Amino acid sequence: MSPLEKAQARVRELREQINEHNYRYHVLDDPEVPDAEYDRLTQELQALEADFPSLVTSDSPTQRVGDTPLDAFTQVKHKAPMLSLENAFSDQELEAFDQRLHERLDDVAEIEYACEPKYDGIAVSLLYENGKLTRGATRGDGATGEDITQNVRTINTIPLSLRGDRFPALLEVRGEIYMPKAGFEKLNIQALSEGTKTFANPRNAAAGSLRQLDPKITEARPLIMCAYSVGVSDGGSLPDKHADILQQLRDWGFLISEQLAVVSGVLGCVEYYSGIAEKRNGLAYEIDGVVFKVNRLDLQQQLGFVSRAPRWAIARKFPAQEEMTVLNDVEFQVGRTGAITPVAKLEPVLVGGVTISNASLHNKDEIARLGVKIGDTVIVRRAGDVIPKVVKVVTSRRPEDAEEIQFPRICPVCPAAIEIPEDESIARCTAGLSCGAQLKESIKHFCSRQAMDIEGLGDKLVEQFVDQKLIKSVADIYSLEAEPVARLERLGEKSAANLVAAIEKSKNTTLPRFLYALGIREVGQATALALANYFLTLELLAEASEEELQNVPDVGPVVAKNIVEFMHSSNNKAVISALLKAGVKWPKVEPPEVDQLPLDGQTIVLTGTLNSMSRDDAKARLVALGAKVVGSVSAKTDKVVAGPGAGSKLVKAQDLGIEVVDEDAFLAWVDELEAAH
Ligand code: I6G
């Protein structure tokens, strides 16, 4: 064998192996070899192709990314129109659809439906000629789309050549290209840190990634294609049921939905819809509904089409997660530590089945990033359990009299001034507990589950007690009596008695809980625990100097200063002494055993929104592992967990070279630590 023949044989072998590994990894989700082996095979193939350029073919796995950016996308006419789907927004509309089909198919007792999630992405058409990918196009207007061949080639779930050999000579595969939620979040975090444009949702991110003239940019984006039908096929045969065609596509190398199911009758469809609706938040990708298709192709043919949609398919849509509304005003809320949060007051709008009239605007930076003004039409998004968010301004609808959002100079609740510390984006009221809002929030914090844990003394009740001047400081909680409480709050005798009993019970606490409940700035649960373990008594802690405090693990100069200021304030001294006098007590603190927790000594910042859990829960898990969770990024921060909406903290972390992880990486990390501990 000549060297060229030898190379040719090896190249063929390597391509087969690489394609097979790629298929197992991306389509079957069942990789057989570690990534390192895959990389070695690819490198060997690259080297051989470099030595023997005549062996390079366009479907080689090394040829996914082209070198030359396009000047513009060209228009392509689809071989068969890409239709749209009829929508159903209720079970009744779905039943009516099934009923209509029965009227046309009078000899079918119950219709079998193939069910798939409707991915929230971009519909594409992929043309295969003699098994080779020759063209990728967007749906466009259904008749004509844009040629995005260079870009679709970079997507690993799109085979450059079909597997096996029993495929039609001409095959047009259709599907949806989408960006998984995790990839979208990572992309936005990166964009924030680089100061480039963020995307409002994964669908826009997928669309933006596909509309790149330079395929290298598309390649760097986490895109997936899920095949959902065959548009045209010629010179070969296909199975006679839709679900079997999808299985066939899978064998040819395409990813199909892992949620594909076949059900019987409309009741089966309704059940499938509610099953997917329940799973929706936990799916790795966004979907906006489910699609039902008559499974038998002969019945599909009998049913035919109405105008631009098949009669045999319907999309049962979820309530939309994004809606347009008007920003009527911005209010400023004051938190426990005086932090001022701008809250968008929106023209009420139904989003995902819930009426939204408020959405957080986070801080000054976020307002600047959005470029939002009062009077603007905005897009609000409520995905999963996440707090509603303003994601975009529809600038084309900006009224002439749109007003700039002015941060107040005076606290919206009390007469104190507001200051914005340098290098922070957070504005604060400077009044401390004499500010009614901070008082309410600190009492709520004092009563909360992780602090004094007073069952039944929830936020609403605290607000009423403060408004009615029954409580002027946390110490007043312990002089509440059942009879006036029952009378004043119309709580009823029994609830009032229960509340007083819960207050009584909370007197037996622990020193770490008590310290945390005091609400000293930047003293979270982990710091409170570290302080208790170091000083053992409240008296010793109260007398400690800033210098001594900094001997406590993770207490830096800022926290030490906060503690000293707090303990030296005559108002706070009086409150603490009243609490002790009321009978708040805790068992003697024993010096801790030296057994270390896995995150002892680590300082972590959570920023942005988490999808799978609340920030409190994330924090509790970290604290239980020994970490200290703080609110601001500094050189002492070990790690930053950044979700969507992360702003200045993320940028600061990047500037300081601090490790930043997304929610997925965070979960994997704590899961591992918890399992090992
Ligand atoms: O837009 C679509 C999404 C998903 C579809 C579709 C689909 O199947 C799962 N199927 C058809 C036939 C069409 N649009 C026209």
pLDDT score of 614: 78
Say yes or no to pLDDT of 173 above 80.
yes
Q: Give the residue carrying structure tokens 């918890």.
A: 674
Ligand 1 centroid – CA 105 distance (Å): 22
Distance (Å) of CA 569 to CA 64, 318, 403, 559, 581:
67, 55, 42, 15, 18
Residue 244 CB: number of other CB atoms within 10 A? 15
Q: CA–CA separation, 83 vs 419, rounded Å?
A: 57
Q: Which domains does the chain have, with CATH numbers?
A: 3-63 (1.10.287.610), 75-317 (3.30.470.30), 322-419 (2.40.50.140), 432-505 (1.10.150.20), 511-581 (1.10.150.20), 603-676 (3.40.50.10190)
Q: Is the pLDDT of residue 476 over 70?
A: yes
- Count of CB atoms situated within 10 Å of the CB of 348: 12
pLDDT at position 485 = 78
Average pLDDT over residues 104-126: 95
Could you tell me if the CB of 118 is within 6 A of ligand 1?
A: yes
Distance CA 388, CA 372 (A): 16
Instruction: Return the pLDDT at 384.
Output: 66
For residues 215 and 472, what is the distance between their CA atoms, to the nearest angstrom?
Answer: 64
Residue 638: pLDDT over 70: yes
CB of 589 closer than 8 Å to CB of 641: no
The lowest-confidence range among 205-209, 480-484, 633-637 is: 480-484
> Is residue 402 scored above 90 in pLDDT?
yes
| pLDDT of the residue at 298 | 96
Smallest CA-to-CA distance from 145 within 75, 68, 217, 92 is with 75
The yes-or-no verdict on residue 167 having pLDDT over 70 is yes
Distance 85 CA to ligand 1 centre (A): 6
Q: What's residue 61's pLDDT?
A: 96
pLDDT given at position 23: 95
Distance from the CA of 388 to the center of ligand 1, in angstroms? 29
Name which residue leads in pLDDT, 270 or 197: 270
Average pLDDT over the chain reads: 91
pLDDT band at residue 136 under the 50/70/90 scheme: very high
The closest-lying atom of ligand 1 relative to the alpha carbon of residue 313 is 12
Alpha carbon of residue 457 to chain centroid: 32
pLDDT at 600: 86
Range from 12-26, 269-283, 471-485 carrying the lowest mean pLDDT: 471-485
Q: What is the pLDDT of residue 651?
A: 79
Q: Distance, CA 294 to ligand 1 centroid (Å)?
A: 12
CA 252 to chain centre: 33
Q: Which pLDDT score, from 0 to 100, does residue 595 have?
A: 65
User: CB of 230 closer than 6 A to ligand 1?
Assistant: no
Evaluate whether 295 touches 242 at the Cβ level (below 8 Å).
Answer: yes
Q: Residue 489's pLDDT band (boundaries 50, 70, 90)?
A: low
pLDDT at 607: 86
Structure confidence at residue 353 as a pLDDT band (50, 70, 90): confident
Share of the chain above pLDDT 90, in %: 68
State the pTM of this model. 0.69
Q: Does ligand 1 come within 6 angstroms of the Cβ of 125? A: no
Q: What secondary structure, in 3-state letters, does 448-509 show?
A: CCCCCCCCCCCHHHHHHHHHCCCCCCHHHHHHCCHHHHHHHHCCCHHHHHHHHHHHHHHCEC
| pLDDT at residue 528, rounded to an integer | 93
Determine the 3-state secondary structure of 140 from DSSP. Answer: coil
Residue 491 has pLDDT above 80, yes or no: no
Residue ID of nearest Cα to ligand 1 atom 9: 228
Catalytically annotated residues: 118
Q: Which of 19-23, 382-386, 411-415, 570-574 has the lowest mean pLDDT?
A: 382-386
Quick check: 644 pLDDT over 80? no
Q: Which protein residue has the closest C-alpha to ligand 1 atom 6?
A: 228
Quick one: the chain helix, strand, coil %, rounded to 5? 40, 20, 40
Closest CA to 62 of 112, 92, 22: 22
CA distances (Å), 152 to each of 122, 133, 159, 225, 560, in order? 12, 10, 10, 9, 56
378 lines ligand 1 (CB under 6 A): no
Q: Where are the beta strands (DSSP E) in 30-111?
A: 75-77, 86-88
Cα dihedral 59, 63, 68, 71 sign: positive
The pLDDT assigned to 374 comes to 97
Question: Does ligand 1 come within 6 angstroms of the Cβ of 83?
Answer: yes
Structure-token pair, residue 621: 């898990």
Sign, CA torsion 449/451/457/460:
negative
Report the range of poorest mean pLDDT among 87-101, 473-487, 551-565, 640-654: 640-654
List Cβ neighbours of 286 (8 Å cut-off, separation of 6 or more).
Answer: 119, 120, 178, 181, 201, 202, 203, 321, 383
Integer CA distances (angstroms), 90 to 116, 393, 566, in order: 17, 30, 57
Contact between residue 346 and residue 357 where contact means Cβ atoms under 8 Å apart: yes
User: What is the band of 594 on the pLDDT scale with cuts at 50, 70, 90?
Assistant: low
Question: Residue 513 has what pLDDT?
Answer: 96
157-169: average pLDDT: 94
Q: 460 burial class (0-12, 13-18, 19+ CB within 10 angstroms)?
A: exposed
Which residue did the predictor score with more confidence, 537 or 619?
A: 537
300 lines ligand 1 (CB under 6 A): no
- Lowest average pLDDT, out of 3-17, 160-174, 618-632, goes to 618-632
Q: Ligand 1, from 138, 229, 258, 293: best to mutate by most atoms within 8 Å of Cβ? A: 229
pLDDT band (50, 70, 90) for residue 434:
confident
Q: Is the C-beta atom of 291 inside 6 A of ligand 1?
A: yes
**11 CA to centre of ligand 1 in angstroms:** 38
Name the CA radius of gyration of the chain, rounded. Answer: 31
Confidence of residue 379 (pLDDT cuts 50, 70, 90): very high
CB-CB contact of 274 with 267 (8 Å) = no
Q: Ligand 1 centre and the CA of 513: distance in Å?
A: 55
